[in-house]
Structure 1
Amino acid sequence: MKTIYALIAALLWSCAVLGAEEMSPVGLWQTFGEANGKPKSLIEISLNNGALQGKILELYEPEVANPVCDKCDGDKKNQPIIGLAFLWGLKPDGARWRDGHILDPENGKVYSASAELKAQGQQLEVRGFIGFSFVGRSQIWQRYQP
């Protein structure tokens, strides 16, 4: 009988852990083209010193082979897009992540950023903005299911 209780407890614990992981933005995400809705890139979001950061793992249909961030400034100037840390500093604030930054590799501009999980952790709404959050744009990323 103790074995059955231990098995049930282990099963419940593992379900709780899996549920908690799904409600975290940490993991792999697909982005989609705004014009055509087709998958555009694969992003890895990780936790670094309590803040989220994201890097580009793959571009599905790049316009040129091995693109670089030629419009970026500073240490990101002419860095390969693949492997580029383009999202950083998002800190938890309840169900949202705030006070971060996001780089648009297409124009080299850095925007303030926030993110919020949606659809039971299967979607991530990422918002880039200048100044106030209502002056910007959002994208919905889908959790990657290989």
Structure 2
Amino acid sequence: MRYRIAALLLALAAPAWANPTPVGRWHTIDDDTKEVKSEVVITEQDGVLTGRVEKLLRKGADPNRRCTACTDDRKDQPIVGLEIIRGVRQVPGKAVWEGGTILDPENGKTYNVRLTPVEGGAKLEVRGSILFIGRTQTWVRAN
């Protein structure tokens, strides 16, 4: 009986051991207030990740807000539904995804991005940088 319970527990825990991935729903966290800011959905197609703002969750956020500071094809597009992560691929043999860009819709700037799942995929380290200067945010997987 003990072995059956152990086998069942191992089977249930196996997905946690699987290679964590950035694919899924994430809550972004405000750097200053530490409150949930938005929900971003990251998807994969043909090995390439993209991420879109699904919801604005910050108190008082305008759901009709547009990216007025953007300078590319996203100029004046609604932030809800906006593709903020583009062209990210997994580094071969590593649990790291990079090579693409991330847009900060607050200021319209685009940064090189590196996505690293941590804590078994429960959190995602999102590093945006230009050359060697950048910052890292930690996003939390949404249920």
Answering whether residue 18 of structure 2 is matched by residue 20 of structure 1, we say yes
What TM-score do the two structures reach when normalised by structure 1? Answer: 0.82
Q: How does 1:1-146 map to 2 (within 5 A)?
A: 12=11, 16=14, 19-20=17-18, 23-61=20-58, 62-93=60-91, 94-132=94-132, 135-145=133-143
Q: Which amino acid aligns with 2:110?
A: V
Deviations 1:25-66 (A, max 9, x none): 111000111111111100100002211111000001354341
Secondary structure at 1:74's aligned position in 2? coil
What letter is aligned with 2:131? G
Do the aligned residues in 1 keep the contact of 2:37 with 2:57 (CA within 8 Å)?
A: yes
- Larger fraction in helix: 1
Report the aligned-residue RMSD. Answer: 2.1
Identity of aligned residues (%): 39
The runs of at least 4 consecutive aligned structure 1 residues that moved more than 2 Å come to 14-21, 61-65
Gaps spanning 5+ residues in structure 1: where? Answer: 1-7
1:65–1:117 CA distance, 2 compared to 1 (3 A): closer
- Per-residue Cα deviation, 1:115-136 (whole angstroms, up to 9, x for no partner): 101011100000000013xx10
Amino acid at match of 1:38: E
- Where do 5+ consecutive residues of structure 2 fail to align? 1-6
Once residues 36 and 73 of structure 1 are traced to their aligned partners in structure 2, the CA distance between those partners, rounded to angstroms, is 27
In structure 1, what residue type is equivalent to 2:46? N
